[in-house]
Structure 1
Amino acid sequence: MNHLTLPASPLPALVAATGERAQVRFIEFFTAQIRNPNTRRAYARAAGEFMAWCEDNGLRSLAEVQPVHVAAYVELLGRERSAPTVKQRLAAIRHLFDWLVVGQVIPVNPAASVRGPRHVVKKGKTAVLAPDEARHLLDSIDASTPIGLRDRALIGLMAYSFARVGAALAMKVEDVYVQNRRLWVRLHEKGGKRHEMPCHHNLETYLHAYLDGCGLAADPKGPLFRTLGRVTGELTRTPLPQANAYAMIRRRAAAAEIETKIGNHTFRATGITAYLKNGGTLERAAAMANHASTRTTQLYDRRRDELTLDEVERILI
């Protein structure tokens, strides 16, 4: 169970004081109900901080938590945190108490009637590169070394297939395969969804060079993107962590003299924007990015940024 992220032991005093059934149900919420490790980690933090606040304000069991307590906590949180963070914390609290109600630990959900702050998002915050900047970044990578081949293939995969960094880093070598004489990639997305896409010809070149140059084809069950051995300078069999991927991207951007503060998600947004600018449709982009709704895809569409810049230049002073 060391891979699970749970609230710090011992359990919150409110949970412990409510009885054994509450303790079991509380642990089950994080182990059986939530499968995504990132969601589990965020919900555990939200629940732990809320329980601690309740204890500091004199509450001694889960049965004593009322809507007024949740509302007061949300109000206080809103003075210190952004609206999206407050909404996420409230969602975590609401889902946890729903689980406790279903398990007959408490009769009603005290968070059910509490409203979070209003927050409307029409444009994502992810930094996006212009196509020529992305091209420059890819071309600036020295592909004569294993790490260069790996980095170019990873960045290319995210840009040309709209892959999330988590899905890309979860790939195995066998998830790159040939079908109908074309290279395809198999991405394992959120919720256990499997998403398959044919490769752009540039991405096909990058992946072939990476697989052949590093001899990965002989290890189909091994991770596709791997760490580099400090002593040997060769790829190991350890999957590349997401934090390492971010550090690599920042390092590559600095070397290419790109001043935009980019991150792992930049290339997903860059690829989607480039596709739409060249006549692609929002519906097809959503399917390629494996988005359930085009509303999500619209957050990655930065074509309006260029229109705004053009209009700004009309201010002749």
Structure 2
Amino acid sequence: MSALLPSPPASAGDPLAPRGAGLALPAIVVATGQDAQRHFLEFFAATIRNPHTRRAYARGVADFLHWCAARGVHALPQIQPLHVAAWIEELGRTVSVPTVKQRLAGIRHLFDWLVRAQVVAQNPAVSVRGPAYSVRRGKTPVLDPAEARQLIDAIDISTPIGLRDRALIGLMVYSFARVGAALAMRVDDVFVQNRRLWVRLHEKGGKRHEMPCHHNLDDYLHAYIDGCDLAGERKSPLFRTIARGTGRLSQTPLPQASAYQMVRRRAAAAGIATAIGNHSFRATGITAYLKNGGTLERAAAMANHASTRTTQLYDRRSDEVTLDEVERVMI
């Protein structure tokens, strides 16, 4: 937690950006005083555990405070609902609606915290309405089963990197795992229970989710763990980078950005034109499961979704119906 200690006054920027041993705080926060600086940092350090949420909120807060400073606001108590509303209006011209809503949520949570800490008297964002947004169909690109099989079969498994990549893609397809949960796995998160191989996924909010493996995934994980001699390293990361110049696995966990690059590279090599990403496999697996008679409730449980409404965003069976209807326009 030492990296979250306040630094000397600095210009506005990312609230969590490193600056030597400390942090560069936005000028408005610095001008409000030492107490405001401490509570500002505590908001990010103490109230937000998910690193992705922390980074997203930090970017939004830094952008908003920089915007306010450029318009003559010199301290946090001077920020009014009109400032928040004008910023939201301007932001909506350049970024998507979900991004606007996420950044507004970050501002609201921050000022809620500052009100409780008595840094400011009121939350200027509480009365500001965000843009309307309704989602009935997910935007994640999805592969059909033939394309997914084509991608997996195109991977050369004669090397450790091929065994790793096939196991990771297979895990996301057959267990509906988020890439973050997959990459957080250790070797001992693959285990035998009731004579079947199971996987243990550490999901958002500290939830632990366990699932039996599909027989294909069972084969992929056994081949990977045995082929790379991982069985004796139970507490080590399951999916790792390749040590430079050796062609062998390192001890460094595979970063999410590297997994994305791997997926795009594998898709291109397999001749798949769909612009897929890590999340595509979650939607691909859920859609294939539902096509073959699975229920939405079971799919939600397997994907560890709190609500079937979330699972419905991954159900892309209607795409085929739409394509069939389009082809009826016979001109």
Shorter-chain TM range is over 0.9
Counterpart of 2:309, as a letter, is R
Counterpart of 1:302, as a letter, is R
Listed as ranges, the matches of 1:110-259 within 5 Å are 110-259=124-273
Indicate whether 1:24 and 2:33 are aligned: no
- Name whichever structure is richer in helix by fraction: 1
Equivalenced residues, count: 317
- Provide, for residues 2-34 of structure 1, a one-character-per-residue CA deviation record: whole Å limited to 9, x for no partner: 887843443112111222211110000111111
- Other-structure match for 2:103: 89
Counterpart of 1:204, as a letter, is D
1:73 to 87, 91, 108: 87
CA distance, structure 2, for counterparts of residue 190 and residue 51 of structure 1: 29
Indicate whether 1:286 and 2:300 are aligned: yes
User: Post-superposition, which runs of at least 4 consecutive aligned residues in structure 1 deviate over 4 A?
Assistant: 1-5
- Other-structure match for 2:56: 42
CA distance, structure 2, for counterparts of residue 170 and residue 160 of structure 1: 17
- Provide, for residues 60-97 of structure 1, a one-character-per-residue CA deviation record: whole Å limited to 9, x for no partner: 11111111111111111112221111111101101100
- Are the counterparts in 1 of residues 178 and 282 from structure 2 also a CA contact under 8 Å? yes
CA distance, structure 2, for counterparts of residue 177 and residue 7 of structure 1: 38
- Other-structure match for 1:296: 310
- Other-structure match for 1:312: 326
CA distance, structure 2, for counterparts of residue 280 and residue 3 of structure 1: 48
Query: TM-score, with normalisation over the residues of structure 2?
Result: 0.94
Counterpart of 2:281, as a letter, is F
Which deviates more, 111-120 or 222-231? 222-231
- Provide, for residues 174-222 of structure 1, a one-character-per-residue CA deviation record: whole Å limited to 9, x for no partner: 0000000000000001111100000000000000011111100010000
Counterpart of 1:249, as a letter, is V
- Other-structure match for 2:73: 59
Indicate whether 1:104 and 2:118 are aligned: yes
Shift in Å, 1:103: 1.0
Counterpart of 1:7, as a letter, is L
Listed as ranges, the gaps of 5+ residues in structure 2 are 5-13, 18-22
CA distance, structure 2, for counterparts of residue 3 and residue 254 of structure 1: 40
Which secondary structure state, in structure 2, belongs to the residue aligned with residue 232 of structure 1? coil
Listed as ranges, the gaps of 5+ residues in structure 1 are none
1:7 to 12, 16, 23: 16
Counterpart of 1:279, as a letter, is G
Shift in Å, 1:237: 1.0
Which secondary structure state, in structure 2, belongs to the residue aligned with residue 24 of structure 1? helix
Go from structure 1 to structure 2 and tell me whether the alpha carbon gap of 1:195 and 1:304 turns closer, same or farther (over 3 Å shift). same
Counterpart of 2:159, as a letter, is T
- Are the counterparts in 1 of residues 189 and 199 from structure 2 also a CA contact under 8 Å? yes
Counterpart of 1:24, as a letter, is R
CA distance, structure 2, for counterparts of residue 233 and residue 143 of structure 1: 13
Which secondary structure state, in structure 1, belongs to the residue aligned with residue 90 of structure 2? helix
